[in-house]
Amino acid sequence: MPIADYQTYCKMLDNAKQKGFAYPAINVSSMTTANAALKGFADNQSDGIIQVSTGGGEFASGVNVKDAVLGAISIAEHIHRVADRYDVYIALHTDHCQPKKVESFLIPLIEETERRRAAGQPNLFNSHMFDGSELALKENMDVAVPLLKRCHAVEIILEIEAGVVGGEEDGVDHSDQPAEKLYTTPADMVEVARRLGEVEGARYMFAATFGNVHGVYKPGNVTLTPSILKDGQDAVVKEFGQDAHFDLVFHGGSGSPVEQIHETLGYGVIKMNVDTDTQYHFTRPIVHHIMTNYDGVLRIEGEMGNKKVYDPRSYLKKAEEQMAERVGQAVQDLKAVGTSLLKT
């Protein structure tokens, strides 16, 4: 099927909220990882979200170019073409864009969609994330509101974040943040609803933080408090009514206990980012391939090696398959198996 249009994307999010499941949002940085995400969703009859970060975009454009916008566009255009061969809906998203990268990353991608729409073409991306969590909440919203207005005008959903997700992702390190910054307060959530509610009719997602971190940690090293999401939602509904209930995003989903993942679904989480675990499951079979074919992948003592095992396709196929399996596990953890709008 084609990439989901705005109306279909909204139906996807509504379907998740009504039925108590969430979509894995899978970070990709190449055609191969994008293909793995597509396979993982299709194998489990789940619609899904595929996303590109600034670092992923830079990588995709090549080590000499390092152009995050060009790389993001390239991956998105590949997915637009290949998604037609699958029987699930896919939404395209960009991940964590900090304030200093808005003008160099987010705005050019919004402009690309504006250009495409003017030419009668569909949106390039369905949604973008502005991560203003490093700013004070007022400054965060002062940037987010105009961005939401611009996105709404071209049927793009904006994701925003208030509160800091710990750990490190894409070269941004929040591991030294004080504990209180890892938890979004009910007052913060009410203020986010108030400010973003100024943009009448606009659709947005909100990444509130409840002790979640990027990366995978040993059990006991991370203290998630999902009830924070419930407290915030209750405060927002009390202030503005049921229609203000957030579409929430769970960042740092890799390695989180499944029982806590399930708890967040009851509080309005409809999207969970998965990156670290899929990176590992992509790399693990490559390591196994190299270690078990050591004398074939290297030219040792004048020998020529074995082209069948040093051909990158031989191990990248295995990597794609294993990453697809991990995407499938995320679909299962989020109760999204068999929920595609095309199956209901």
Tell me which residue has tokens 């051909």: 311
pLDDT tens figures, 205-242: 999 998 876 555 454 445 789 999 999 999 999 999 99
pLDDT at 254 over 70: no
Residues assigned a catalytic role: 95
Q: What is the percentage of the chain residues whose pLDDT exceeds 70?
A: 90
pLDDT at 165 over 80: no
pLDDT tens per residue across span 276-319? 999 999 999 999 999 999 999 999 888 889 999 999 999 999 99
What residue spans define the domains of the chain? 6-333
Predicted local confidence at residue 223, as pLDDT:
72
What is the structure's pLDDT at 257? 85
Nearest 5°: the CA angle 166, 172, 175 is 30
Please answer whether residues 157 and 9 qualify as being in contact, where contact means their C-beta atoms are separated by less than 8 angstroms. Answer: yes
Q: Is the pLDDT of residue 274 over 60?
A: yes
CATH for 6-333? 3.20.20.70
Average pLDDT, integer, range 135-142: 96
Residues 58 and 66 sit within 8 Å (Cβ to Cβ): yes
Neighbours of 166 (CB within 10 A): 23
Q: To which residue do tokens 């509130």 refer? A: 208
d(CA 36, CA 319): 8
Q: Tokens for 72?
A: 């993001």
> pTM for the full model?
0.92
